[in-house]
Structure 1
Amino acid sequence: MPSSQHEVLHRIFRDKPELYARAFKMLNIDFPTPREVAVVDTDLTELKPIERRADTVMMFTSLGGRKHVVISESQSQRDDDKISAWAYYISYAHAKFECPVTLMVICQDVATARWAREPKPIGLAGHPSLVVHPIALGPDIVPAITDTAEACTDAVLAMYSALTHARSPKVGAILKALDVALATIDTDTAKYIAEQTEIGLGDTRARQIWRRLMTMQNYRFKSEFAEMLRDEGRIQGRAEGEAKLVLKALEERGVPVTKSARERILACRDLALLDAWFVRSLKVTAAEEIFDGDV
């Protein structure tokens, strides 16, 4: 399973290449019908001490044998430092594979998507040597699929709609439509979509909505997925208890606890680290000292 929300947003394109066709259609971009789709190594590093690794790189071979590389990047906020990296990815892939290259940026908010799709010239003003001009998917392009029938027709696209609109007021309706759609598809795909949705929604209210929906329904894969959520809940509950013990120990000893220290302790979910903090809390004279020695 992917380890982060960022990973999911581009990884689903690698796992479900058919989603590219939907993406280009949303963007009103003609793209040759592929005869073959292959994952390309994302390590774009040359023999230099600078690591360059794109999120997802796919090679499309059309029915006529022509090749086209699509680089997919997840972007959570504006970051002008990424422009040079994107220019490198495009130039390197173009030189290595000797074919056209398209950069697609995947965003969960409209402001970032608008920034991403702006042309980014490199060189003299009015006479750039290179223009990085990504296409970008965001909530302003990806439709909010709230209709149950539409979600059942294309559950993968419904999942992507939910992830893209994770912070939209419509996300609850999108998730309910997706919830119904999962019962109409095969078990393996339903499990994949449920898990990727759980991770891709990140730390949002939408994730809580999704978890409630998943524990209420009687899917064939429910027991395994629900058990995963219960295990996560047990770990979270235990961590919260350990964090409160650390704070209690500090307070009982009369050690002042700053707001930042309290927030850091309560946010921690690493049980081993919390145990180490508890031991230190019995000796320190200032709350911040319990963090000394952390890696």
Structure 2
Amino acid sequence: MVSSPHEAMHRIFQEYPGLFSRVSEVLGVSVPTPTSATVLPTDLTENSPVERRVDTLLRIETQDEGPFLLAVEAQGKKDPRKATSWPYYVSYLHNRYGGLPVLLLVVCQDHATAQWAARPLTIGLRQWPTLTLTPLVAGPHNMPVITNVAEARKDLALATLAAITHADNPDVGAILKTLSAALREAPEDIADPIVELTAQGLGDRPAAQQWRNLVAVDTSFYTSFMSEEIRDEGRDEGRAEGRAEGRAQGRADGLLLILEARGITLTDELRQKITTCTDPELLHRWLHRAATATTTEEVFAERH
């Protein structure tokens, strides 16, 4: 099953398509200056029984060298199957999009996986390789450790990705404290997705609770389902109904945001189903499914 850190490591590029230009600078790779980026469909399935999906796919427009495709893969552990799937992704995309250059970026959260992902993948004979794929890898080995608030505030998207990739860093507490402080005066429409992506990227690590506590203190304006749960703790029972309504509203908003980011189209009926739902627990289940679902049926299916 796809984990929440997996989703955060690639979905951040959907939320902030321009982030790659800063990541490439950090990784020491010279790419043309982007002018715009478009999120493309991630389904690479052909008319065959095998389904293949890249995590995130962007079309990057540049000033001087024309467009290129950026395929982002979030990798939580070593997986020998990638030796065949990643070259397929790149060659398929190159063919499907009329010969556009394709760059594969792999985002990791541990050194061993990052080192493994960075190895060139070769198809062909030892003495005559037919195809060699060299992924670009971002992880704790090369992403910056940002503990300066001014630096984090200068580029919140990069600071968020850096925090996610350093989720297992012994100093993650200082990294998260810096990020939360940088969000104190940020508008809600900027802070909201960053808070959610960071929480998602931390998964079930101990640092996730620390992030929840920091959000409650540093971004008291935040009204997502996560912070609504935080603020609900310790309130008297007489306000239980109001708390439930607040959680339901926050979770409904969060669900719509996630579905939109994942490119899952909603009918008017389903959108109304979400916005009128008053059951926080049901909305919570839908939210968890939405993190990995590819269709509305997977999100709203009744399970017994």
- With normalisation by structure 2, the TM-score equals 0.72
Once superposed, what is the RMSD of the aligned Cα atoms? 2.5
Write the letter of the residue equivalent to 1:23: V
Counterpart of 1:196?
A: 197
Q: Name the CA distance, whole Å, in 2 between partners of 1:218 and 1:163.
A: 19
Counterpart of 1:166?
A: 167
- Structure 1's 66 and 124: CA in aligned 2 closer, same or farther, altered over 3 A? same
- Structure 1's 223 and 61: CA in aligned 2 closer, same or farther, altered over 3 A? closer
Q: Name the CA distance, whole Å, in 2 between partners of 1:162 and 1:50.
A: 35
SS in 2 for 1:59: strand
Q: Name the CA distance, whole Å, in 1 between partners of 2:192 and 2:25.
A: 27
CA contact (8 A) 2:18 2:34 kept: no
Q: Name the CA distance, whole Å, in 2 between partners of 1:145 and 1:218.
A: 19
Query: 1:200-243 CA distances to partner (integer Å, 9 max, x unpaired)?
Result: 111111111101112233532258642144679999xxxxxxxx
Counterpart of 1:118?
A: 119
- Structure 1's 48 and 178: CA in aligned 2 closer, same or farther, altered over 3 A? same
Q: Cα offset for 1:35?
A: 2.6
Query: 1:44-85 CA distances to partner (integer Å, 9 max, x unpaired)?
Result: 111111101100011112224612011000001111111111
Write the letter of the residue equivalent to 2:151: E
2:144 is equivalent to residue 134 of structure 1:
no
Write the letter of the residue equivalent to 2:61: T
Query: 1:86-145 CA distances to partner (integer Å, 9 max, x unpaired)?
Result: 011000011111111110000001111111111111121132211121010010110010
- Structure 1's 232 and 24: CA in aligned 2 closer, same or farther, altered over 3 A? farther
CA contact (8 A) 1:5 1:201 kept: yes
CA contact (8 A) 1:54 1:89 kept: yes
Q: Name the CA distance, whole Å, in 2 between partners of 1:232 and 1:135.
A: 43
Q: Name the CA distance, whole Å, in 2 between partners of 1:56 and 1:82.
A: 16
Q: Name the CA distance, whole Å, in 2 between partners of 1:95 and 1:122.
A: 18
- Structure 1's 47 and 153: CA in aligned 2 closer, same or farther, altered over 3 A? same
Counterpart of 1:287?
A: none
Q: Cα offset for 1:12?
A: 0.5
Counterpart of 1:19?
A: 19
- With normalisation by structure 1, the TM-score equals 0.74
Q: Name the CA distance, whole Å, in 1 between partners of 2:118 and 2:233.
A: 37
Counterpart of 2:227?
A: 226
Counterpart of 2:109?
A: 108
| Gapped regions of structure 2 (runs ≥ 5) | 235-242, 245-280, 282-302
CA contact (8 A) 1:215 1:222 kept: no
Q: Name the CA distance, whole Å, in 2 between partners of 1:115 and 1:232.
A: 43
Q: Name the CA distance, whole Å, in 2 between partners of 1:231 and 1:21.
A: 39
SS in 2 for 1:227: helix
Counterpart of 1:49?
A: 49
Q: Cα offset for 1:174?
A: 0.5
Q: Cα offset for 1:3?
A: 7.4
Q: Name the CA distance, whole Å, in 2 between partners of 1:158 and 1:211.
A: 17
CA contact (8 A) 2:152 2:182 kept: yes
| Gapped regions of structure 1 (runs ≥ 5) | 236-271, 273-293
2:33 is equivalent to residue 33 of structure 1:
yes
- Structure 1's 180 and 47: CA in aligned 2 closer, same or farther, altered over 3 A? same
Q: Name the CA distance, whole Å, in 2 between partners of 1:218 and 1:25.
A: 30
Counterpart of 2:68?
A: 68
Q: Name the CA distance, whole Å, in 2 between partners of 1:11 and 1:223.
A: 18
Counterpart of 1:96?
A: 96
Write the letter of the residue equivalent to 2:89: Y
- Bigger radius of gyration among the two: 1
| RCO comparison, higher one (Cα < 8 Å, 6+) | 2
CA contact (8 A) 1:163 1:201 kept: yes
Write the letter of the residue equivalent to 1:124: L
Counterpart of 2:145?
A: 144
Give the total of aligned pairs.
237
Identity of aligned residues (%): 43
Write the letter of the residue equivalent to 1:207: A
Write the letter of the residue equivalent to 1:213: L
